[in-house]
Chains A and B, each alone.
Chain A
Amino acid sequence: MNLPILPTSVVGSYSMPSWLERLKTEYIMRKISRHDLDEIHDTAVKAAIKDQEMADVDIITDGEMRRDNLIDYFAERLPGTQIDHTSKKFYYDFYESVVTGKIPTASLGLVDDFKFLRANTSRETKFCITGPHSLVKRIRNEYYKTEEDFALDIARVMNMELKELVRAGARHIQIDEPYYSGFPQDLPFGVRLLNTLVDGVDAHIGVHICYGNRYGRPSWAGNYQYLFPAILEAHVQQLTLEFAWRGGEDLELFKEFPGKLEVGVGVIDVKSDSVESPEIVAERIRHALKFLPPERTAVLPDCGLLRLRQPVALGKLKAMVQGAKIVRKELQG
């Protein structure tokens, strides 16, 4: 599929309706069946796809509607992980989960969800996963000697999963590692993890690194300086970073550390309900282009849209795409 210059995409999640929050929570309280919840999820995914198509986003996702939060979807599927199903009352909370032995080599079963997405759209698609560095911050380790050993083994198992996704047709894969910003000292080991995770995976791979969006607020403060130069060693094609709510100052880092990485530039503030105008989006893109060549620039929101109400999320995506179109036109003269 031919993508335009400055391709637009999302970071992964789409607006989570309050009725779905309720139903997910009812499932946890065993008031509705798994079968019903699966059907509800299918329907919600189709709606999320539809909105992204309506906004004319180039590379779309399933809206991550099946996920409770960034961890549990993976913790529940990661072979050998034990989950205490009584440990949460509200879907968005985290389960208590623990690994007590070596993680067996087995599938996480993500391919079905990818296939569902593919079957329901003719657009280019992206599949997002939470990376091992974030997972080990939440899943208790009672087996591996070090956190790094634990994370590397997760990366090994997930590497096979990524290859399966590629066999099923996945061309764009995104790895989310929001906890890097909370633990900047971990970055060198974070990069080793990434390289294990993507080894031999034949797809366009992006890494999303933000300052957290839990409860729609930042979890950490600081700036992206810590990523450089270590991140340039990661065997990935794209970095997607947030620049809308934080401002675009850190973009200058790409002048200081030029590399081959594409940058997915966050141009939509997902922590605010006010919908940007296409002109503001265009301005943010133009600013990024002062530091990045257009062929290595992609356009995205800062982070997932899950905490926004649907009309706001849709409005923001539309503005994002229109803003990108304005700048494309300018570039094409």
Chain B
Amino acid sequence: MILHVNHVRPGHAKLAGDVVATLLSLLEDGRVQSGILQNLDVHLDWIQYKTNFREPIIVRKAVRNDEVLPMIEIAIDLRQIGETNLRESLAEVLKTVDGDRVALEPFGPMRNSVVWSFNKLYWQYLPDWERVSGKGYEKALPGGTSDGHNPVAIKDSANKFWTLLKDMDSKGQLPPEIFVMEIGVGTAERALRWMNDFKEQDREHGTQYYPRIRFLVADYSIATLNRATERLGPHGELCSFLALDALNPFKSLSFLRYKMLYIHLTNVYDNLPTDEIAVRDGKYYFVQVRSYLHQSEVQKICEKFGVPPSDFNRTVTRLLEVGPVHFSEVDQGMAFWQAVWAALHLEERLVAVDSLMEAPLPPGMRPSHVEEFVGDAADLRFHLSSGAVESFSNTIPLLHPRGFLEVQDIFVAKVSDYLQGFRGPGKLDGSILNWVNGAMLAEIGRQAGYDVHFAPFRYREKSNTSILYTTQREQ
């Protein structure tokens, strides 16, 4: 057995020690086979948002094609597990029966999991969700506000942009129309403040840049765009509202190639589909997932909503296809959805890949990026951040030679940070929240001609967000 203790929260040291003692005593009592312990890796290093997809102890098996490999991992969330149930829970998971699980899908790459359909549904039906739960989505954030709406940070950003324009202007480089864009606008709070601040700065200096701004306000949720249109009313026709997928802005906007001077996203990369890769003993494994609920939970939900248990999976599928209106009463549909989402867990398995050529890497990422990233680490689990990488690669071709991309999010900025614990996905209301592999983005950016920098978010103490911004690499 190998124990990985890369990250233990303060106060959990004793419990970490108990894990080993408990496993050994289970072995002594014959409740765990010695064969299992030989190939067991125990990980105590998960860092999670409070609400997430995990059970306190999970087992990950490894497969190659369809053959089950001897390697088994268990990951223990010391925060969720107490001393009292450690022994029984460990014995239970190592027996590994999945008879009591109702899977919503077969194992597959995480970015294809139905959890992303839930996520998308959430943004589409945000006004309904907020009405039913009685609070705005921002309230679900730790602290109750989004760092994306910090007034000082927004003002700084608007002023920084104005300074860029001023410099271009002095060199005769300023184009007649100044294109800027925000993707994933949410409440449009930031977009509004940014425009207000920019307008004010422009007025103070009498530079007349504001009327030349063409602000593209983009999101894939029509409900969100409608709200944004109302919010940004004061800026009139300087704003245009676009339904587009953050994964490929270039597809919708190729006519603006090399024309955009500023593109901003806050808390969008963390909300895009992703995959993960694990390196174990120097070998690559692709992490596959399947979402499931416990049989007992399914029973409860079915009883409450009058759904025949044999119809449960079909009802979930219909919910994801047509939304809560599938139920004759929308609020009933909303409640069903919220109950399913709350009970939903992710099971994981590791799929051995002989070569990274077989791994489904996102467009814009080559095996050499991954190899460069992993270096000689023999044991590592990291996000591919497939969606973020795809979005990044399909956004930078829009940038003007002097333009820049600014992304505020929760980034893992260095490979070595992954050695100190893996940050898994969390549930934030009905959406998904995940850490973004900033180090990978930096590598991809470098090879596409951009230096990628991360500035810690200095506007709120203890904030774990940072601001990614690009600068053009040497010409």
Contact = CB atoms under 8 A, between A and B. Distances in A.
Contacts of A94: 474
A218 B474 contact: no
Nearest to A93: B474
B397 interface: yes
Given A212-B401, A214-B449, A219 B172 contact: no
Contact of A220 (B175, B257, B401, B447): B401
A222 interface: yes
Nearest to B446: A90
B401 A215 contact: no
B173 A221 contact: yes
B283 interface: no
Interface in A243-274: 245, 271-272
A178 B397 CA distance: 20
A219 B173 contact: no
A179 B474 contact: no
B401 A217 contact: yes
Given A214-B449, A221-B402, A182 B172 contact: no
Contacts of B173: 221-222
B251 interface: no
B449 A217 contact: yes
Interface in B301-318: none
A214 B449 CA distance: 7
A221 B473 contact: no
Contact of A218 (B401, B447, B473): B401
Interface string B243-277: 00000000000000110000000000000000000
Contacts of A220: 401, 475
Contacts of A272: 257
B467 to A, nearest CB: 23
Nearest to A214: B475
Between A179, A215, A218, A272, the greatest number of chain B beta carbons within 10 A of the residue's beta carbon is seen for A215
A214 B258 contact: no
B448 interface: yes
A212 B258 CA distance: 12
A333 B202 CA distance: 58
A212 B401 CA distance: 10
Contact of B475 (A18, A182, A222, A245): A182
Interface string A12-26: 000000100010000
- Classify the secondary structure of A's interface with B: loop
A221 B472 contact: no
Contacts of B475: 178-179, 182, 212, 214, 219-220
Contacts of A222: 172-173
Contacts of B87: none
A190 B424 CA distance: 56
A17 to B, nearest CB: 13
| Chain B: number of interface residues, binned into ranges | 10 to 19
A219 B472 contact: yes
A211 B368 CA distance: 29
Contacts of B366: 18
A208 to B, nearest CB: 15
A296 B181 CA distance: 43
Nearest to B402: A221
Contacts of B172: 222
A178 B475 CA distance: 10
A218 B447 CA distance: 15
Contacts of B258: 217-218, 221, 271
Nearest to A269: B257
Contacts of B472: 219
B214 interface: no
Interface in A97-128: none
Interface in B298-345: none
B174 to A, nearest CB: 9
B47 to A, nearest CB: 31
B400 interface: yes
Interface string B220-242: 00000000000000000000000
Given A214-B449, A215-B448, A215-B449, A221 B474 contact: no
Interface in A212-252: 212, 214-222, 245
Contacts of A182: 475
Contacts of B474: 94, 138, 214
B448 A219 contact: no
Interface string B434-457: 000000000000011100000000
A112 B96 CA distance: 70
Contacts of A179: 475
Contacts of B400: 221
Contacts of B448: 215
Interface in B22-45: none
A245 B402 CA distance: 17
A215 B473 contact: yes
A80 B104 CA distance: 69
A18 B473 CA distance: 20
Interface string A167-195: 00000000000110010000000000000
Contacts of B447: 90
A90 B173 CA distance: 32
Nearest to B168: A221
A138 B449 CA distance: 16
A218 B473 CA distance: 12
A155 to B, nearest CB: 21
Interface in B387-403: 397, 400-402
Contacts of B402: 221
A217 B259 CA distance: 12
Interface of A: 18, 22, 90, 94, 138, 178-179, 182, 211-212, 214-222, 245, 271-272
29 contacts: A18-B366, A90-B447, A94-B474, A178-B475, A179-B475, A211-B401, A214-B473, A215-B448, A215-B473, A216-B449, A217-B258, A217-B401, A217-B449, A218-B401, A219-B401, A219-B472, A219-B475, A220-B401, A220-B475, A221-B175, A221-B258, A221-B400, A221-B401, A221-B402, A222-B172, A222-B173, A271-B257, A271-B258, A272-B257
> Which 9 pairs from chain A and chain B are nearest by CB?
A215-B449, A219-B475, A221-B401, A218-B401, A214-B475, A220-B401, A212-B475, A221-B173, A218-B258
Interface of B: 172-173, 175, 257-258, 366, 368, 397, 400-402, 447-449, 472-475
Given A214-B474, A217-B258, A221-B400, 5 more contacts: A90-B447, A182-B475, A211-B401, A212-B401, A212-B475
